[in-house]
């Protein structure tokens, strides 16, 4: 693609003429550059990422960038050949004589420092193209040519390394996740979780489509899944693979897997859980029966008191419990799992409601029992102080006791009677205390 330009003569040389030591040092440095560039180009040629890019059916960003990189690599080899030819020509001039003369040193200076390398079609692959017939070639110094090759090499290597990094990271992880997905789908089918019948079955179908599409896109357009490093870095391949879509799929699969495990757990302990639900509902039923009996007793024994009604047994819960038993009998674990969870909570709620109903119904009896206890306690107190035969106290005690031990009992009137007895007892005790004072 390019050749070393003919020596244009000392008239074109700019700057001082190099001496022999300067020439030898420059040739040594440029020779080392030549070896380093050749090694890098051969390594790029053999890079696994480059071979994959050449053999893949690319799309999108990767297709465009690889086309540009291929042009850059082709141009690189042309530049390198021109560079090698120019270096060989300079070495030939230096090899003519052990002690080169003024004319030879001037020629060497021009070859080593001047724009002595002419390269045809040297515009960068994505840069401005030559305009018109006057720009069919470009001249470089050897140093400028090295700089241009380094730039093209870095851009080409970045494309190759980036694609290889994505291919090395994402497809393998997607394949592992797909294997986990297959195991989860197998478990899901074993417990009746299928698309269209259970939300987790639909989720598994969606994750399957996503992983299939994701892998195909990663393989054909790896550079679309690259996140460059923040800031400006000159190192090729600076950044990391973009795993956002993969991570979302992995999290979604983990959620489904936990749901399937919950369903599997239901299959293992569903019988004992159903027995517990039946037991709780049975206790609730017995409590409601007790509450209804207590309500009848309260209505018979307590007058002028509002007694709340007692609801009937939870028929709907018993029907759902029967449905849960059917699901278990037919191994419909995906249906049993959510139903059993709600039944457990609702059965506990029903037992609590039954207990609260019993407490509310029997509240008047509890009030009557408290008044009876209070009345007897005050009677014992006045007896200890020798006031048991006080006529007023006897009268008020008998009145209160008759109200509390008769049926139906008027709690309001009985409470007032107890309060009157308490008041009389307190006055009697106070009067006795004053009489005993010296």
Which pLDDT does position 182 carry in this prediction? 94
Which pLDDT does position 194 carry in this prediction? 81
Could you report how far apart the first and last alpha carbons of the chain are, in Å? 137
Domain ranges of the chain: 2-159, 165-228+241-266, 267-361, 365-436
Q: How far apart are the C-alpha atoms of 154 and 140, rounded to whole Å?
A: 19
Q: How far apart are the C-alpha atoms of 358 and 308, rounded to whole Å?
A: 10
CA angle 18, 21, 24 (to 5 degrees): 95
Looking from the CA of 70 toward its CB, the CA atoms found within 13 Å total 12
Query: H or E segment at 303?
Result: strand 302-303
Q: What are phi and psi of 330, to 5 degrees?
A: -100, 15
Contact between residue 360 and residue 306 where contact means Cβ atoms under 8 Å apart: no
Which pLDDT does position 119 carry in this prediction? 81
DSSP 8-state class, residue 224? G
pTM over 0.75: no
Which pLDDT does position 403 carry in this prediction? 86
Peptide bond connecting 408 to the previous residue in cis, omega within 30 degrees of 0:
yes
Query: H or E segment at 300?
Result: helix 244-301
Residue 291, both tokens: 């509450």
Residue that is written with structure tokens 């021109």 in the block: 82
Which pLDDT does position 306 carry in this prediction? 75
Which pLDDT does position 130 carry in this prediction? 43
How many other CB atoms are found less than 10 A from the CB of residue 244? Answer: 10
Q: How far apart are the C-alpha atoms of 314 and 306, rounded to whole Å?
A: 24
Residue 332: exposure state from Cβ atoms within 10 A (0-12, 13-18, ≥19): middle
Residue-wise pLDDT for 65-82, tens only, equals 999 999 999 888 888 888
Contact between residue 241 and residue 165 where contact means Cβ atoms under 8 Å apart: yes
CA angle 398, 384, 431 (to 5 degrees): 80
Which pLDDT does position 126 carry in this prediction? 53
Residue-wise pLDDT for 183-206, tens only, equals 999 988 887 778 887 788 899 999
Low-confidence ranges of the chain (pLDDT < 70): 1-15, 121-136, 231-235, 237, 304-305, 435-438
Query: Which residue(s) pair with 118 in the sheet?
Result: 3, 139
Which pLDDT does position 192 carry in this prediction? 76
Which pLDDT does position 250 carry in this prediction? 95
């Amino acid at each position: 693609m390019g050749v070393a330009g003919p020596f244009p003569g000392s008239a074109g040389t700019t700057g001082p003429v190099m001496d022999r030591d300067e020439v030898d040092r420059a040739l040594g440095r440029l020779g080392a550059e030549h070896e380093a560039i050749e090694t890098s180009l051969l390594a790029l040629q053999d890079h696994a990422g480059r071979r994959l890019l050449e053999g893949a059916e690319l799309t999108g960003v990767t297709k465009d960038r690889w086309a540009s990189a291929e042009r850059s690599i082709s141009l690189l080899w042309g530049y390198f050949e021109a560079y090698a030819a120019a270096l060989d020509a300079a070495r030939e001039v230096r090899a003519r004589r052990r002690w080169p003369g003024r004319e030879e040193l001037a020629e060497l200076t021009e070859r080593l420092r001047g724009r002595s390398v002419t390269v045809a079609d040297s515009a960068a692959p994505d840069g401005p193209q030559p305009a018109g017939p006057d720009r069919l070639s470009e001249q470089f110094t050897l140093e400028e040519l090295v700089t241009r090759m380094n730039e093209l090499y870095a851009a080409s290597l970045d494309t190759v390394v980036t694609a290889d990094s994505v291919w090395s990271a994402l497809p393998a992880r997607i394949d592992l996740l797909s294997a986990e997905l297959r195991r989860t789908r197998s478990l899901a089918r074993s417990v009746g979780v299928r698309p269209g019948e259970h939300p987790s079955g639909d989720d598994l179908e969606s994750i399957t489509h996503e992983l299939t599409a994701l892998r195909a896109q990663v393989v054909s357009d790896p550079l679309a899944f690259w996140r460059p490093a923040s800031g400006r870095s000159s190192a090729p391949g600076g950044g990391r693979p973009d795993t956002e879509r993969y991570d979302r799929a992995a999290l979604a699969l983990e959620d489904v897997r936990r749901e399937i495990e919950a369903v599997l757990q239901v299959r293992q302990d569903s019988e004992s859980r159903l027995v517990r639900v039946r037991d709780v509902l049975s206790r609730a039923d017995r409590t409601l029966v007790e509450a209804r009996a207590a309500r009848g007793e309260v209505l018979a024994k307590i007058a002028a008191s509002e007694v709340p009604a007692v609801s009937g047994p939870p028929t709907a819960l018993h029907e759902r419990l029967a449905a849960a038993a059917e699901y278990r009998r037919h191994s419909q674990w995906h249906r049993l799992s959510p139903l059993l969870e709600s039944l457990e909570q609702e059965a506990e709620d029903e037992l609590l409601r039954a207990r609260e109903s019993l407490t509310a119904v029997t509240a008047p009896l509890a009030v009557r029992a408290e008044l009876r206890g209070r009345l007897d306690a005050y009677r014992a107190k006045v007896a200890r102080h020798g006031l048991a035969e006080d006529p007023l106290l006897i009268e008020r005690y008998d009145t209160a006791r008759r109200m509390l031990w008769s049926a139906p009992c008027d709690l309001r009137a009985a409470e007032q009677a107890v309060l009157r007895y308490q008041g009389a007892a307190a006055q009697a005790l106070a009067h006795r205390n004053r009489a005993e004072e010296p």
